[in-house]
Chains A and B, each alone.
Chain A
Amino acid sequence: MSDRYPKINYRNGKRFFFRFSLMQRVQHIILFSCVITLGLTGFPQRYYNEAWAEPLFTFMGGIEMAPQIHRAAGVVLICLFFFHTGYWMYLFYRNKLKPLIKERNLGPGTFFKAFMSMEMMPNAKDGRDIVQMFKYLLYLSPKPPQYDRICWKEKFDYFAPYWGIPILGPAGLALWFRDEFTQIFPGWLLNAFYIMHTDEALLAGLFLFFVHWYNVHYAPEKFPLGTVFLTGYLSEADMIHEHYAEYVETMTEQGLAHEIKPQGHH
């Protein structure tokens, strides 16, 4: 990846730091398009009683069309889930396992270590970062946490859909193919899947709306929109603010150690 995407890009004399490849950005766009479509066609059904539900549902195609759109978006999302699983496995093999195989050093221990060293995996530094974050937020430390390439919030953002889709997807499929489903499974499972589907969706929707959108839209330095999801590159100021550890590492690696700026404050 790194050869296609230089770690630091210059635009108008400003530094931009690489974060997401085109492949990842496209996956994210498919993900949020599906989730928004599913939300717009799904929540009016959950809140059928509210004044906004029927106009929105009618706008989304009404009882004839909106459920079809909902299912289509769901299918795309499930496909994306499988594609993404294949994607990270490929990256894991290429970046982590292949070198180990070359070194003839692949064993259960090294495999596990390699697995845990993937950038999305939670680790002990995340724990330390969270403690440091609370110390900083409660005015008990002057230093904001120095996040690495992927901070704990981003890991949470990542695993939210990665656990959400396996819950929502099969439940949605069971409710879609309810007749076939009851050939094999008891009908009361549909009651359970109904709750799983609708309540997990509400959790996801609220989390995205309040937390994720705060991080990328509402936060004062992001408003109205952080552009990294489109460009794949993050500005130096944001980099210092959000990923100071990675910033220092990248700058040092690129021989720019003398130009490293202090972390400073908001």
Chain B
Amino acid sequence: MGVLPNKMLHSTAKRHTEAFAALLAMFLVIFMLGGLTWTAPAQAEDELNCVLCHKFRGLSRIDEEGRFRLFYINENLFMKGPHKRVMCLDCHRDIKKIPHDPAEKVNCTVECHLTEPSSKQNFTHAPVKEILDASVHSKYDKEGNLKDYPEDYPGCKDCHEQPLYRPLSFFKGESAGISRRGLSRCKSCHQTGDFAEDFYSHVTSRLQKTRESREIVETCAKCHADPAFQKRHGLDNVVASYKETFHGKAVTFGSDETADCMDCHVVYGESVHSIESHTEPTASTHKNNVAATCRNEECHVKAGEAIASYQVHTDYSNAEKYPMQYYMLKFFQGLMAAVLYFFIIVIFLELLRRLFPNFCFIKEKPTDAKSVLQNSSSEKGA
């Protein structure tokens, strides 16, 4: 570096500073532009201007039961969500005046003002409720009587936590994949409004798994991993035993290729709302159907019928239900303890012996080389 004159060094440094400043300015502009796009208000179906109040991030209160309730609506999220074309009052029907009283819980089975394009009927989630009511997750048994602990059975929002109910989930950047090129083909005819964009994103988001397998397991775990819940309904800790399987482990490590709860507990090709108890002959987990469930075209295609006898939800501490697993585990634990304790004791004694190498309780005469040879060669008679 010594060859460079001082002046030149100075000017290089200056040029660097300028370049840095330019870069910084560029980044600032990019961030500001990004910020502008982010905060640009989306067009909501908000005739009553609900966001006038609900746009405030701190809009919240502690309700009568002492729970913290957040009433902030993130418009950007709402406009990316599945309900963006639904008006607030379509679901919140009990609101008649503004400012309003505490609103009732939303009923997802009402008809909203959207029309379903193929039938021209008003749209409703009621068919999903019918399927759910026929499933193991219904509050009512087959005779129509209320089951024990009906409050434990899930409603729509217990599983469908759409981002609106979780204001921070936009950090995860979840959205449907939109191919602009694909969309351009729709747009050549469907030129008006957001029709093409809306339907395209609706269809593409329905075509793919909208949730990670990990998230599905966590959704089921909200109830099924709760010990009190298991006790009330006489269920095993199926979440814990699932997580011990290769399926569970792969999902824990982020795989979406492997089976989550839905893949085994829903009959292949049926609605996920139709989960039945394994005692029902039509259930995917009924003993006559397990093989078919495992061997469906996306999973263990090449497997034999015998795959049905694989025990997925193994509780290794339950000797009565899983004797083979229990006793095998005990055997290996015993073997491990025996081997490791033996050697660790030897190592420990060896280290202790080094403390007093010349001490001994019993005196013996020292060995000479001759006796060493005799001792070892006695084995080599052959």
**Residue positions of A touching B, CB distance < 8 A:** 44-45, 48-49, 54, 57-58, 62-64, 110, 113-114, 117, 123-125, 133-134, 136-143, 146, 148, 175, 178-180, 182-188, 190-192, 194-196, 199-200, 202-203, 206-207, 210-211, 214, 219-220, 244-246, 248-249, 252, 257, 260, 262-263, 265-266
Contact = CB atoms under 8 A, between A and B. Distances in A.
Given A185-B306, A191-B324, A266-B354, A211 B343 contact: yes
B306 A182 contact: yes
Given A139-B361, A182-B307, A188-B311, A245 B347 contact: no
Contact of A139 (B304, B359, B372): B359
Contacts, number: 175
Interface string B129-141: 0000000000000
B372 A179 contact: no
A21 B113 CA distance: 84
B310 A182 contact: yes
B325 A191 contact: yes
Contacts of B357: 265-266
Interface stretch (B32-40, B64-72, B86-94, B242-250): B242-250
B253 A186 contact: no
Interface string B349-382: 1101110111111111011010011011111101
27 contacts: A45-B249, A54-B252, A54-B253, A63-B250, A113-B382, A134-B349, A141-B360, A141-B362, A148-B379, A178-B300, A182-B303, A182-B310, A184-B306, A186-B306, A186-B309, A195-B325, A196-B328, A203-B332, A203-B335, A203-B336, A203-B339, A211-B344, A245-B372, A248-B372, A249-B376, A252-B369, A257-B369
A148 B374 CA distance: 12
B310 A265 contact: no
Interface of B: 243, 246, 248-250, 252-255, 300-311, 314, 324-325, 328-329, 332-333, 335-336, 339-340, 343-344, 346-347, 349-350, 352-354, 356-364, 366-367, 369, 372-373, 375-380, 382
Contact of B356 (A134, A139, A146): A139
Contacts of A146: 367, 372, 375-376
Given A48-B252, A211-B343, A252-B373, A138 B310 contact: no
Interface of A is mostly: helix
Given A125-B376, A245-B372, A245-B376, 19 more contacts: A48-B249, A48-B253, A134-B349, A148-B379, A178-B303, A180-B303, A182-B307, A183-B303, A186-B306, A187-B309, A187-B310, A199-B328, A210-B344, A211-B344, A249-B377, A257-B369, A265-B357, A265-B358, A266-B353
A192 B331 CA distance: 12
B121 to A, nearest CB: 44
Contacts of A262: 366
A207 B376 contact: no
A191 B369 contact: no
Most A CB contacts (10 A, CB to CB) among B248, B359, B379 go to B379
A249 B373 contact: yes
A179 B325 contact: no
Nearest to B378: A125
A210 B303 contact: no
Contact of B353 (A124, A136, A199): A136
Contact of A245 (B248, B353, B375): B375
